[in-house]
Amino acid sequence: MSGVTMRPHRRSGSHHVRPRRNLVLTIVMALFVVYSLVPLIWLVINSTKTQADLFTTFGLGFGKHFVLFSNIAQTFTYKDGIFLHWLLNTLLYVVVGAGGATLLATLGGYGLAKYAFPGRRAVFGVVIGAIAVPGTALAVPTFLMFSKLGLTNTPWAVILPSLISPFGLYLIWTYAIDAVPIELLEAARVDGASELRTFFTISLRLLTPGIVTVLLFAIVATWNNYFLPLIMLSDPTWYPLTVGLSQWSAQATGVAAQPIYNLVITGSLITIIPIVVAFLFLQRYWQSGLAAGSVKA
Amino acid sequence: MNHSTRWTALRRVASVAVAGAVVAAALVGCSSSGNSGSSGAGAGGGKPADVEAALKKGGEITYWTWTPAAKAQVAAFEKVYPKVKVNLVNAGTNTTEYTKLQNAVKAGKGAPDVAQVEYYAVPQFALGDSLVDLSQFGFDSLKSDYSSGPWSNVNVQGKVMGLPQDSGPMALFYNKTEFDKYGIAVPKTWDEYIAAAKKLHAANPNAYITSDSGDPGFITSMIWQAGGQPFKVDGTKVSINLQDDGTKKFTAMWNQLVEGKLLSQVPGWSDDWYKALGNGDVATLITGAWMPGVLESSVPQGSGQWAVAPIPTYDGTPVNAENGGSAEVVMKQSKNQALAAGFLKWLNDSEQSVNIFIGSGGGFPSTTKDQNSDNFLNQAPAYFGGQKINQVLVDGAKPVVEGWQYLPFEVYANSIFGDTVGQAYTKSSSLDPGLVAWQKALVDYGNQQGFKVTVG
Amino acid sequence: MSQVTAPPVRRRRSALQRRVSLAGIGFVTPFMIGLALLIIAPIVYAIYLSLFRTQLIGGTAFVGFGNYATLLQDAKFWASFLRVLLFLVVQVPIMLVLSLIAALALDSARLHGVGFFRIAIFLPYAVPGVVAALLWGFIYGNQFGLTAWVNSAFGWHLAPLAPSWILGSIGNIVTWEFMGYNMLIFYSALRVIGTELYEAAEIDGAGAWRIIFNIKMPALRGSIVIAVIFSIIGSFQLFNEPNLLQSLAPNSITSYFTPNMYAYNLSFAGQQFNYSATVAIVMGIITGVISYIVQVRGTRAENR
């Protein structure tokens, strides 16, 4: 760690190594890309097929009918539009859960990085320890606790546990150490600004890339959350997309089975689009945020 | 439905805080009359007259089911009884729902008033004391309305624990086109069935007589048909023998297919399986009478190819078992058990509701009147080439062996089936060691859970 | 790593110090309350539960460490543990090496279209585990999945869902999901290496490989430690993928395929909540200890 400068250098590449482009390397990377994208391409292609075509036509080729739009329409109207419910629930869980998690982690990480107070080392130790606690190992006891409190089958059961992200706090902590110079805080103190005001007017702006990174990871975590809502919720009107899709998939089983593979596939595609878009648009922020988190260990 | 369940959920959050107050209020208010319709939880003191009274008075109940017909049934019910509001919730298909139901029972709240439970899972919930004995409402008198298999399945230890929704007397569904192509006759006995399996697979290496990669529901039904009774339950006394005569009769026959690699290993209900049903790679299914609806709606490529025959037997004498099918039950947690019972009676015993159910293609009726109606018997779906399939299926409901029992922890038992018996399938080896391993795991589990489990 | 970055300024008045320390406590408190209620309380509750045994017939009894004694001899638990351990020692190195190669290639400045490669390889990370498992489940099917097509095109006999293949197939899904994520972590670490180091290397006339081994790899050590720790935690927690694939591979994926699936099935299929809590606690301890060892060893190597 020692001696590493934290300012991300925008190297052009031409300064220190020969700028020769390497074809072999490009081919190797192209293989990586094929591996990464083929399943996604499969998803896109197959969301344009009818269920009959899914069974009868080649996986990476188009079907006899191009029904992407009717699949999308069906996905949103099947069973009185339950899918839209799930989408909105997921948004609720993401906004409140990931937003809250980011807020708490930002405050905590900033406090740990910039303030000396008794017990700070202990707090830090607990947080680091909590990172290593396997989240799903907590699921069953959390479920039992929540069911005693009557919180199961309510949105709180999904939101509350997602509010605490020890890794998020840790990321902010590492980021805040260098991003917010202590002199700036002292100057603000001399000017008589309150600590909270300083945080909102000065520090928050400096922390933005770190916060965006934590927010994105929190969004991914809540958007992908499956285990917890699976055991906490019994009413499908509270399901997030992940649990809903697995229910649609499981509906192909048993007496009165109703396989809707075309809707499962189209629904999956719709599920990943918002998050992919979020990543693409916020690329610039999270990359520099990651840079800070990645070098500290 | 959405609106009101949301409210229920929100209220539940607040309910912790007011729980104390409710208890207090209940203590004070229990003497107040005019509270008709809500027979006290767990009291068991309901009367047949309470049901009609509760339906007239109205109220709100929640119904968990994954039956496709449910929406139309509930709508029709609310028309007949406008004062009753039914919140319809699809809490998941089979085991997903049982997990949630079990969780609600454990939590002491959150269970619906009425729930769909497959027959094999009824004893588990009955034993957990989470179901209402419906004989207090006079439902024992409905026995004659149902065929014997499903009725015995809702009878646990002499109590009426639910009303049958549908039933699944087994039959042989076969791909006639495929059979004709290879000159295979419809097998009447299991020996003929095995011969057909060999002939088909030899003629077309991609085709198999059927798919079976290990399904506890299928195996227990097949043991049942062979006259086995591996599970005997008397209160908390359970005896398990997965090597009794009936079981061995079945495995001696079925092992020939397993060991001969004559079974498709495509897992049932997977996308691959649906495809294989459509293209002839899986040529027969031995399954419950509810299968036609699934074939018609989900295997359109098989239209005009499939046909139905009686299930093969060991010696030519007709004998059958049930496979699949559900009951609806009233949960003890219900605040209005009489109303729930009233809804249930209409749902599974009224002609109007059963007709909606049959029309949805979601299952095979359990009520003898509907099974034997001319309309039902004379249906000749084009999917089955105009065959009057219901005549075959209804005949199959008659020779069902009586006295079959499921374990009081059958849901758990099924969950570990793949760990034990399933392993035999992957090795194409005899099922018997797997059944013995399953038995051992079940005996251990039962004893750990406080049952008195014996072998034999 | 725990070096204090804001050295206490001793000459300040103690009032200011108190104000600062109060503010610090204020910032940290909301998080710590949440941590106490949502992480520590469930752990304590799980420990409490693990000391009892509840029967379907006969109620609840205190059994002390009885559940732990049972667990020590529970062949199913150890089978599941060894399975994820195997997964860990095979899948994690493969994934991290692939991520490392990709990150070094991105950073090599010898690549066309760096931006495209970066985002394309990263994309699978945005796919929810549930969707990834459903998606690969379709692909793995050897009747109408892509596997079927590959088999008929090349005359192969791939059976990704067969018992002997399944762990590798799940490993493939996990690799697919997280390779890009780890690549970005590594890549970000490479981007912050000071230019002066490269300039010095250039003056020395160091070749590409020497730069990789003498400059880049040391700079990556911290992020590799992080990636390894998260991969350990992820492997020990494996649940979503096998749980969703189970309906496609019922005999390959047993009810105790991974410790987490075992805990889940004990709780929700078997109603053995107490024993399930014991499994959770023991797995938590094992994960914590191994992560700690990796962390300590990783940092010690760094300080040498």
pLDDT for A247-266, tens place per residue? 999 888 888 888 999 999 99
**Chain A residues with CB inside 8 Å of B107's CB?**
147-148, 150, 152
Please check the confidence at residue B240 and state whether its pLDDT lies above 80: yes
pLDDT at C200: 86
β partners of residue B156: B159
pLDDT at B10: 38
pLDDT for A121-134, tens place per residue? 999 889 988 887 76
Residue B275: which of A55, A151, A235 has the nearest Cβ? A55
pLDDT at B238: 96
Please check the confidence at residue A82 and state whether its pLDDT lies above 50: yes
Q: How confident is the model at residue B38 (pLDDT cuts 50, 70, 90)?
A: very low
Residue whose token pair is 């899972």: B121
pLDDT for B327-374, tens place per residue? 999 999 999 999 999 999 999 999 999 999 998 877 899 999 999 999
Full pLDDT tens readout for chain C, 304 residues: 444 445 455 555 578 888 888 999 999 999 999 999 999 999 999 999 999 998 888 889 999 999 999 999 999 999 999 999 999 999 999 999 999 999 999 988 788 888 889 889 999 998 999 999 999 998 998 776 788 888 888 888 888 999 999 999 999 999 999 999 999 889 888 888 878 888 888 888 888 888 888 889 888 888 898 889 889 888 998 998 999 999 889 999 999 999 999 999 998 889 899 999 999 999 988 988 888 888 888 776 555 4
Measured in angstroms, the CA of B250 and the nearest CA of chain C are apart by 21
B129 interface with C at CB cutoff 8 Å: no
Q: Is the CB of residue A233 less than 8 Å from the CB of residue A155?
A: no
The residue with greater pLDDT, A289 or C278, is C278
- Residue C144 to residue B412, Cβ atoms within 8 A: no
Query: What mean pLDDT do residues B115-120 have?
Result: 96
- Residue A296 to residue C299, Cβ atoms within 8 A: no
**Chain B residues with CB inside 8 Å of C145's CB?**
271-272
ipTM value: 0.86
- Residue C254 to residue B425, Cβ atoms within 8 A: no
Where in A208-294 does DSSP place strands (E)? none
B195 burial level (CB within 10 Å; 0-12, 13-18, 19+): middle
Measured in angstroms, the CA of C111 and the nearest CA of chain A are apart by 5
A255 interface with B at CB cutoff 8 Å: yes
Q: Using DSSP, state whether B392 is helix, strand or coil.
A: helix
Measured in angstroms, the CA of A59 and the nearest CA of chain C are apart by 6
pLDDT at A257: 85
B449 interface with C at CB cutoff 8 Å: yes
pLDDT at B42: 42
What is the 3 state secondary structure string of B19-55?
HHHHHHHHHHHCCCCCCCCCCCCCCCCCCHHHHHHHH
Mean per-residue pLDDT over chain A, rounded: 86
> With the C-alpha atoms ordered C49, C55, C60, C63, is the resulting torsion angle positive or negative?
negative
Task: Report in angstroms the alpha-carbon separations of B9 from B2, B4, B6, B13, B177.
Answer: 10, 9, 5, 7, 53
pLDDT at B3: 42
Q: Which of B96, B173, B213 to mutate to test the interface with A (most CBs of A within 10 A)?
A: B96
What is the 3 state secondary structure string of B169-204?
EEEEEEEHHHHHHCCCCCCCEHHHHHHHHHHHHHHC
Pairing of strands B163-164, B326-330: antiparallel
Cα B214 from Cα C214, distance rounded (Å): 56
Residue whose token pair is 């100057």: A187
**Cα–Cα nearest to B339, from B27, B127, B78, B157:** B78
Measured in angstroms, the CA of C144 and the nearest CA of chain B are apart by 6
Residue C250: which of B236, B281, B418 has the nearest Cβ? B418
- End-to-end CA gap in chain A: 8
- Residues contacting residue C256 through CB under 8 Å, at least 6 positions apart: B419, C76, C77, C79, C80, C262, C265
The interface residues of chain A toward chain C in range 83-142, judged by CB-CB distance below 8 A, are 104-105, 107-108, 110-118, 120-121, 123-124, 126-127, 129-138, 140-142
Q: How confident is the model at residue A288 (pLDDT cuts 50, 70, 90)?
A: low
Please check the confidence at residue A15 and state whether its pLDDT lies above 60: no
Please check the confidence at residue A287 and state whether its pLDDT lies above 60: yes
pLDDT at C10: 53
The structure tokens listed for B395 are 């005949």
Cα A174 from Cα A6, distance rounded (Å): 11
B356 interface with C at CB cutoff 8 Å: no
- Residue B271 to residue A54, Cβ atoms within 8 A: yes
What is the 3 state secondary structure string of chain C?
CCCCCCCCCCCCCHHHHHHHHHHHHHHHHHHHHHHHHHHHHHHHHHHHHCCEEEECCCEEEECCCHHHHHHHCCHHHHHHHHHHHHHHHHHHHHHHHHHHHHHHHHHCCCCCCHHHHHHHHHHHHHCCHHHHHHHHHHHHCCCCCHHHHHHHHHCCCCCCCCCCCHHHHHHHHHHHHHHHHHHHHHHHHHHCCCHHHHHHHHHHCCCHHHHHHHHHHHHHHHHHHHHHHHHHHHHHCCCHHHHHHCCCCCCCCCCCCCHHHHHHHHHHCCCCHHHHHHHHHHHHHHHHHHHHHHHHHHHHHHHC
Residue C269: which of B214, B411, B448 has the nearest Cβ? B411
pLDDT at B416: 96
Please check the confidence at residue B58 and state whether its pLDDT lies above 50: yes
pLDDT at A294: 53
Residue A235: which of B9, B68, B293 has the nearest Cβ? B9
Give the lowest-confidence range in A41-50, A205-214, B44-53, B210-219: B44-53
- Output b/e per residue, C119-144; b: 16+ Cβ within 10 A: bbbbbbbbbbbbbbbbbbbbbbbbbb
pLDDT at A29: 93
**Chain B residues with CB inside 8 Å of C254's CB?**
418-419, 422
Query: What mean pLDDT do residues B189-216 have?
Result: 96
- Residue C20 to residue A199, Cβ atoms within 8 A: no
Q: How confident is the model at residue B8 (pLDDT cuts 50, 70, 90)?
A: very low
- Residue A234 to residue B301, Cβ atoms within 8 A: no
Measured in angstroms, the CA of A33 and the nearest CA of chain B are apart by 28
**Chain C residues with CB inside 8 Å of B273's CB?**
143
Q: Is the CB of residue C247 less than 8 Å from the CB of residue C133?
A: no
Q: Is the CB of residue A35 less than 8 Å from the CB of residue C178?
A: no
Cα C26 from Cα C30, distance rounded (Å): 8
Q: Is the CB of residue B112 less than 8 Å from the CB of residue A236?
A: no
Q: Is the CB of residue B185 less than 8 Å from the CB of residue B197?
A: no
Cα C133 from Cα C138, distance rounded (Å): 9
**Cα–Cα nearest to A118, from C13, C8, C32, C21:** C21
- Residue A253 to residue B269, Cβ atoms within 8 A: yes
C251 interface with B at CB cutoff 8 Å: yes
- End-to-end CA gap in chain B: 49
Measured in angstroms, the CA of C164 and the nearest CA of chain A are apart by 23
Radius of gyration of chain A (CA): 24
Residue C254: which of B272, B276, B419 has the nearest Cβ? B419
- Residue C269 to residue B412, Cβ atoms within 8 A: yes
Residue A16: which of C38, C195, C221 has the nearest Cβ? C195
**Chain A residues with CB inside 8 Å of C49's CB?**
141, 144
Give the neighbours of chain C: at least 3 Cβ pairs within 8 Å: A, B
